[in-house]
Structure 1
C-alpha cells in the first residue's frame, strides 16, 4: 500500500472509531455532517436527511442554515438529488444547479440561495434506508471523482454508526419504558394489595380508557402517585 493510500486508510479508520464513539443519535449525526464538511473535497456545507418511521423526511442536523433551507426546498417541491438518492442508492452529483435539467423547480429555487454544486449519498444498511448525506458548495463543479469516492466511504461508515446509535437509543428507551411500567405496577400493587398481574391489568385498562400510551400513563402515576381522573380505575376519585 502506498503512503498516500495508507494515510487515507488510517484517516478513515479514525473516522469509523470516532463515529462509533459518539454515543447518542444526535451526536453521531453532528459528527457525520462535520466530517463531511471537513473531509470531502469541494464541500462547504453538509447535512443529514433522515427518513422517519412514517416515511417523512427531515433534516435534524446541518453545518449551516443554508443546508436546512436547501433541504426544505427538496421536501416541499418533491424534487432534488436527496430524494432520488434515498430511493435508488445512486450517488447524485450536480455540477451546476442552473444548468442541470433533472429537477427544474428545485434547481431554480436553490440557485437563489447561492448553491451551485451538490452531491448526495444514501445512508443505508442491509436492513434499511436511514436517510441521505447532502453536500453543498457555492462553487461550480465542486465535486470531482475523488470527492465522490471519499463521500461514499464516509457514507458507508456513517450509516453503520448511525444504525448502531439508533439501535442503542431504542434499547435504552425500551429499558426505561419497562422500568417505569414496573414502578407504576408496583405502586398499584402496594396501594390496592393486589398481585402484579392484576395491578398491570389496571394500568392497561386505564391506558385504554384514557387513550394514553402505557409508558406516558406510567410516568404520570410514578410522578403523582395516582391515576388520572377518567381512567375508571381505583384512583378515579383521586
Structure 2
C-alpha cells in the first residue's frame, strides 16, 4: 500500500463525509468509500438492529441486503452479532466463510451459497452510542488482509463520527421545524378562536391526546387546513 496516497484518500473521504447534506448522503458516502478504499471489498452496507429486526442502510449491492436478511431470518451471523450488542465484537475478519460452520452453523453455508467468500465488519460507535455495524463483503475467500482491516478500521472511525453528527443535525432541524409548525398552528387558533397562547397550546395537546395523533401532526393539519 502506498501510505502517502492512502492518507490523502482518507483525508479526502473525511472531508466528503462532513460535506454531505443529509444522513442518507453520509451513509451512502461511507459505504461507497469502503468499496473504493478497502482492498478486496466488493460490496458494503450498514446493518442496524431495532430489537431483532434488521435494517440495511446504504447497501452498495443486492448481496448486502441478501446477507442481512439471511441473518435476520436465522437469528445469527457476524454482522448481526456485532450490531446486536455493545458487548459484541467491535471488529471481525472472516477469511473464509466455509470455515465458520461452528460459529454460525446456519448462516455460514447459506452465505457461501449467496456468493460470499469472505467478510469483514466494524461496529460503528462513539463514546455516547452504538450506531450499527459497517460490513464489508468479498466474493473471494481470503480477500481481506491485515492492511484491509486497518483501512476498514480507519474508515469506520471517521464514519461513526460523521454518522452521529449527521443524525444529530437532522434531529435538530426536525425539532426546529416542529417547533415552528406548532407555533404557527397556535397562532392560527389564537386568531380564529380568540384564545390565549396557553389556551391554544392546551387545545392542541388535548386534541393530540384524545385522538392519539402526534402533536406535530395536529399542528401540521391546522397549518394546512386552518382547523382539525
TM bucket normalised to smaller = over 0.9
Looking at structure 2, the residues matched to 19 and 51 of structure 1 have their Cα atoms a distance apart, in angstroms, of: 23
Give the corresponding residue for 1:84.
81
Query: How far does residue 31 in structure 1 lie from its aligned partner after superposition?
Result: 0.4
Give the corresponding residue for 1:231.
none
Q: Which runs of 5+ in 2 are unaligned?
A: none
Give the CA RMSD over aligned residues.
1.5
Q: Is 1:208–2:209 an aligned residue pair? A: yes
Give the corresponding residue for 2:40.
42
Conserved? CA contact 2:52–2:72, under 8 Å: no
Conserved? CA contact 2:44–2:135, under 8 Å: yes
Query: How far does residue 72 in structure 1 lie from its aligned partner after superposition?
Result: 1.0
Q: Which runs of 5+ in 1 are unaligned?
A: 228-238
Map 1:7-156 to 2 at 5 A. Answer: 7-52=5-50, 56-86=53-83, 87=85, 88-101=88-101, 102-156=103-157
Structure with larger Rg = 1
Looking at structure 2, the residues matched to 225 and 176 of structure 1 have their Cα atoms a distance apart, in angstroms, of: 18
Moved more, 122-131 or 109-118: 109-118
- In structure 2, the CA distance between the partners of 1:168 and 1:120, relative to structure 1 (3 Å rule), is same
Query: How far does residue 9 in structure 1 lie from its aligned partner after superposition?
Result: 2.2
Looking at structure 2, the residues matched to 106 and 100 of structure 1 have their Cα atoms a distance apart, in angstroms, of: 9
How many residue pairs match? The answer is 224
Q: Is 1:197–2:194 an aligned residue pair? A: no
Q: TM-score, normalised by structure 2?
A: 0.94
Looking at structure 1, the residues matched to 52 and 23 of structure 2 have their Cα atoms a distance apart, in angstroms, of: 18
Conserved? CA contact 2:92–2:121, under 8 Å: yes
Query: How far does residue 48 in structure 1 lie from its aligned partner after superposition?
Result: 0.9
1:102-135 CA-to-partner distances (Å, cap 9, x unmatched) read: 1110112111111111111111000000001111
Q: TM-score, normalised by structure 1?
A: 0.90
